[in-house]
Chain A
Amino acid sequence: MSIPSNLFYTQEHEWVADPSSSPARVGITAFAANALGDVVFVDLPDVGAALTAGAPCGEIESTKSVSEIFSPLNGTVVEVNAEVVDAPELVNDDPYGKGWLFAVQPSQPIPSLLDAAAYAALPDVAQ
């Protein structure tokens, strides 16, 4: 399962681009997308919404389940991916590319995030 080395990760299987290259795009990992099965609906925060790191900010539904999206950063939503709202399967097809969910203008403090190696070593992911 692909885990790009230029991204950062959370325990909840979100990825986020380097927060210093703000605004930073956010999505879910290939591991998460594969575990969910076919994504059929995404509910994203509105542009301008204030996000708290670790707090739920949206939902992803697959045929079988509903999962919350947790914000990896503190900050403000500056853009949402309209394309993924219309075509949720992009989350499965291209989780790190066209399947990105929203972009955040980060604010302090920047929480500690996992790098690719640390994410790959999470028990679920490493299995």
Chain B
Amino acid sequence: MLTSPLDDVHRGAHMTEFAGWSLPLRFGSELAEHTAVRQTAGLFDLSHMAQLEIRGPAAGQALDFALTGAHGAMPHGRASYSLMLEPDGGIVDDLIVYRLADAEYLVIANAANRQAVLERLTERLAQHEATVRDSTLERTLIAVQGPRSAEILAAAGLREVATGLRYYTAAPAQLDGVDVLVARTGYTGEDGFEISAPAGEASGIWAKLEQAGEPFGLVRAGLAARDTLRLEAAMPLYGHELTLNTTPWDAGLNRFVDLTKPDFVGKSALVSDDGTPHPRQRRLIGLAGSGRRAARAGYQVLTAADGEAIGEVTSGALSPTLGHPIALAYIDPGVESAPGTPLAVDIRGTHQRFTVAARPFYRRAT
């Protein structure tokens, strides 16, 4: 089992195994942690996330071939959500690509897919002047997420990036003399930052942020809160909404696929010879219910009228912010799915009414 460089700091937390890592599920109440991120801020240890460094004069072109996004054209300091596909169009992983310099990128991939992404990047970059290096175990990734995040970073000594960075950008900075990379990105639907630093500095940075954040209501938050936060923001989770059997079209991620690129792995499976996208096989939708009973992953989605099975829930919970059940589900693409359409979910034998809901379920006030 892999342990975070912050493992000692997490003593007393409820730990869980996730993608081969021992990580905090919750420090106290996961609902309190969730609410803190919505109202003040939460501090997350994301050291399990894969950090892959891409370097070389052709790094941009290589990533353009290896992934679905337009990465060669990214300005320095920009972050971009992207997908890695198999040649058959199935999703290997969703990732964030940061352009750090002309010939230098950082790719953050899911912990569960670290090896799969590393192997494919190595293979796909081989035909370009670019190399990939897995620095995951030498690094830490710490996130501050929530409306008070910028104030907390400023108080910790990162005022310049806290005020200067726009959403989905990143910049190098120094925190107590340590070189870090600060990105204004996250997985919670709130403003927030993710800080990549050497693993040996993890405890010091964590303590510094915790101390700076205390007056702003910063609380430690675990994976349980992270999951309900991302679900309210309708962000997909690999292994749930995204799998090798899901295409970007199925998941509604069309805008992260740059079809103007001459070629990328998976492109030929997504479009016909004349370049028209193939029809989707299923459709990702949002569902909202009443009462308190959650529609959970694996439960069947049914038509409201006659209970005919038309799909399956991939993630679901009682939304802590909204107070009613929310879920993401795949349904047959032919079924009416405009927001407001009544459907049902088979919750352990009971047909519970749900309606198709617009995504995200929760959107922060700006």
Contact = CB atoms under 8 A, between A and B. Distances in A.
Interface of A: 37-38, 40-41, 43, 59, 61, 63-64, 66, 88-89, 92
B14 A63 contact: no
Contacts of A66: 296, 348
B320 interface: yes
9 contacts: A37-B14, A37-B25, A37-B29, A40-B31, A40-B318, A41-B318, A63-B30, A63-B318, A66-B348
B26 A37 contact: yes
B320 to A, nearest CB: 7
B317 interface: yes
Nearest to B33: A38
Given A63-B318, A64-B25, A88-B292, 6 more contacts: A37-B29, A40-B292, A40-B318, A43-B293, A64-B227, A92-B29
Contacts, number: 39
B62 interface: no
A64 B224 contact: yes
Contacts of B227: 64
Q: Classify chain B: how many residues form its interface, as a range.
A: 10 to 19
Contact of B224 (A37, A59, A61, A92): A37
B228 interface: yes
Nearest to B223: A64
Contact of A41 (B30, B224, B293): B293
A88 B318 CA distance: 12
B150 interface: no
A43 B294 CA distance: 12
Of listed A61, A63, A66, residue having the most chain B CB within 10 A: A63
A61 B318 contact: yes
Contact of A61 (B26, B31, B294, B320): B294
A113 B227 CA distance: 38
A88 B294 CA distance: 14
Contacts of B294: 40-41, 61
A38 B29 contact: yes
B224 A63 contact: yes
B25 to A, nearest CB: 8
A41 B30 CA distance: 15
A41 B26 CA distance: 19
B246 to A, nearest CB: 23
A81 to B, nearest CB: 15
A66 B350 CA distance: 15
A62 B30 CA distance: 10
Interface string B303-346: 00000000000000110100000000000000000000000000
A37 B30 contact: yes
A73 B287 CA distance: 39
By Cβ-Cβ distance, the 10 closest A-B pairs, closest first, are: A41-B292, A38-B31, A40-B318, A38-B29, A37-B30, A63-B30, A38-B30, A41-B293, A64-B224, A63-B317
A59 B347 CA distance: 12
A69 B43 CA distance: 34
Contacts of B25: 37, 64
B358 to A, nearest CB: 23
Nearest to A59: B348
Nearest to B16: A64
Contacts of B293: 41, 43, 61
Contacts of A92: 29
B292 A63 contact: no
Of listed A40, A41, A43, A89, residue having the most chain B CB within 10 A: A40
A69 to B, nearest CB: 14
B290 to A, nearest CB: 12
B249 to A, nearest CB: 31
Contacts of A88: 292
B31 A63 contact: yes
Contacts of B30: 37-38, 63-64
Interface string B6-47: 000000001000000000011001110000000000000000
A89 B25 CA distance: 19
A89 B30 CA distance: 12
A38 B25 CA distance: 12
Contacts of B318: 40-41, 61, 63
A24 to B, nearest CB: 27
Nearest to A42: B292
B365 to A, nearest CB: 24
Contacts of A89: 31
A61 B294 CA distance: 8
